[in-house]
Amino acid sequence: MVFSFAYGSVGWEFMEVMRLVVTGPVGAGKSTFIRSISEIDVVDTDRDATDETSQLKKKTTVAMDFGRVNMGEDMALHLYGTPGQSRFDFMWDVLIRKAHAYILLVPANRPGEFRNARVISNFMRQRTKAPMVIGFTHLDCPGAWTMENMAIALGYGSPLIKRPAMVEVNPTESMSVATAIMALIEHL
């Protein structure tokens, strides 16, 4: 963890800033996750989707999302959301390098994205030793896989492979997002 100056409630002060990256494939709920919990207006970079993403949603993140949450008097969480498409992997690289921890969101109802989730987690693992938590989203949607089956699909089937913490998260509910963030902080 780092200490740095940040603009807090009483002006510039010594504040602990923890940077968390929210990553995962397209449509996992990364931007929603940050919007649900940020105490500031989220800095987003949404643009109209024109690729296959447009079948899923109208807008897509092209650079990053940024949100902030204060944790008590002297600590702030900075949340950075990545784009989901691999053509933006230079943004994954930029954002992960300074992250203290990251959460990989995986949409449970779209097994076609599990492969992309693995691509992203491999990409991150090659660049950071920061802890990762996997957050499964869309578990209440039709066709959602069970967490156990997804763990296997993501390559954590063998008992010989250490599993990262896995949580269920609904990005539209701030309480659920808060719980996921707490899980992430516990692993620091």
Partner 1 sequence: MINSEKLNSILQNFVTGVSDIQGAAIVTPDGLSLSSVLGAGMDEERVAAMSAAMLSLGERIGSELARGTVDRILIEGDTGYGFLTNCGSDAVLLVLAHQSAKQGLVQLEIKRLASELKLMFK
| Tokens 């079948």 -> residue | 55
Region near partner 1 per CB under 8 A, out of 47-55, 98-106, 152-160, 174-182: 47-55
Residues 62-91 interacting with partner 1 (rule: CB under 8 A): 62-64, 83, 85, 87-88, 90-91
42 or 103, CB closer to partner 1? 42
Long-range pairs, 91-94, Cβ under 8 A, ≥24: 91/63, 91/64, 92/23, 92/120, 92/123, 92/124, 93/123, 93/127
44 or 113, CB closer to partner 1? 44
Residues 130-149 interacting with partner 1 (rule: CB under 8 A): none
Q: CA–CA distance from 76 to each of 5, 9, 17, 173, 180 (Å)?
A: 11, 11, 5, 20, 16
Which residues of this chain interact with partner 1, rule CB under 8 A?
43-45, 47-51, 53, 60, 62-64, 83, 85, 87-88, 90-91
